[in-house]
């Protein structure tokens, strides 16, 4: 049976993942109306992946005898300065998600909940992949500059990256 402390920490992370899904959904919607269809497709896909991260946690917690109660969500931003700003916000966001995952792992491990610690390994690896991917995309932005042609190419590339699971794609 999972402890109340670990259950609470998992519920907090479920909330974070659901919030992340909205965060990407809001950005995808902005990209779609601002003429970046590739970025929109990529971000819609990533929003779905965050929902999968959430569902995986919910099902794990319920399976271990806890109860995954969903929490209230915040309203995401709806105004962005540029596509570059969106990807800067994303990297910042994912760095903070990594910190949350590490804290969650620490809570499980220090509670001697080795089953949950083992389960969280997947999330630790996922965060490494996500940070690497978003850093790679930002490097491409630096190369593209603010030129319309460069942004057009980047948008097309994001479109092609949204075919696979987004973190399966090597951005380099
Ligand atoms: Fe659920 Fe983007 O990590």
What pLDDT shows up at residue 165? Answer: 66
- How many domains does the chain divide into? 1
Residue (of 135, 118, 27, 122) closest to 81 by Cα position = 27
In this structure, the number of other CB atoms found within 10 A of the CB of residue 5 comes to 13
**171 lies in some domain:** no
Eight-class DSSP state of 77: P
The tokens for 123 are: 């999330």
**84 lies in some domain:** yes
Residue nearest to atom 1 of ligand 1 (CA): 50
**56 lies in some domain:** yes
**149 lies in some domain:** yes
**136 lies in some domain:** yes
Question: For tokens 């910190």, what's the residue?
Answer: 99
**170 lies in some domain:** no
Residues near ligand 1 (Cβ within 6 A): 17, 20, 50, 53, 94, 97, 130
Quick: pLDDT tens for 111-150: 999 999 999 999 999 999 999 999 999 999 888 877 788 8
Classified as helix, coil or strand, 23 is helix
The CATH number of the domain where 33 resides is what? 1.20.1260.10
CA distances from 50 to 13, 14, 23, 43, 113 (A): 11, 10, 10, 10, 24
**172 lies in some domain:** no
Domain assignment of residue 91, given as a range: 4-71+80-164
pLDDT band at 95 (very low <50, low <70, confident <90, very high): very high
Eight-class DSSP state of 75: P
What pLDDT shows up at residue 128? Answer: 97
Mean model confidence pLDDT for the chain = 93
**157 lies in some domain:** yes
Quick: pLDDT tens for 53-89: 999 999 999 999 999 999 999 999 999 999 999 999 9
> What is the whole-number distance in angstroms between the Cα of residue 16 and the centre of ligand 1?
9
> What is the whole-number distance in angstroms between the Cα of residue 149 and the centre of ligand 1?
30
User: Which ligand 1 atom sits closest to the C-alpha of 93?
Assistant: 2
What pLDDT shows up at residue 170? Answer: 44
Helix 83-110 vs helix 4-33: crossing angle, to nearest 10: 170
What pLDDT shows up at residue 147? Answer: 77
User: Which ligand 1 atom sits closest to the C-alpha of 126?
Assistant: 3
> What is the whole-number distance in angstroms between the Cα of residue 94 and the centre of ligand 1?
7
């Amino acid at each position: 049976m999972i402890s109340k402390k670990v259950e609470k920490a998992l519920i907090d992370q479920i909330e974070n993942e659901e919030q992340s899904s909205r965060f990407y959904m809001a950005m995808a919607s902005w990209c779609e109306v601002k003429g970046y269809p590739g970025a929109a497709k990529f971000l819609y896909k990533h929003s779905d992946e965050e929902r999968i991260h959430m569902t995986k946690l919910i099902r794990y917690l319920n399976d271990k005898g806890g109860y995954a109660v969903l929490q209230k969500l915040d309203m995401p931003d709806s105004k962005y300065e540029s596509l570059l700003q969106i990807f800067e916000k994303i990297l910042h966001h994912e760095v903070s998600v990594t910190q949350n995952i590490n804290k969650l792992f620490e809570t499980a491990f220090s509670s001697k909940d080795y089953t949950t610690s083992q389960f969280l390994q997947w999330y630790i690896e996922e965060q490494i992949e996500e940070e690497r991917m978003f850093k790679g995309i930002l490097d491409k932005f630096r190369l593209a500059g603010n030129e319309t042609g460069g942004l057009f190419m980047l948008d097309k590339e994001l479109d092609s990256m949204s075919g696979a699971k987004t973190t399966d794609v090597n951005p380099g």
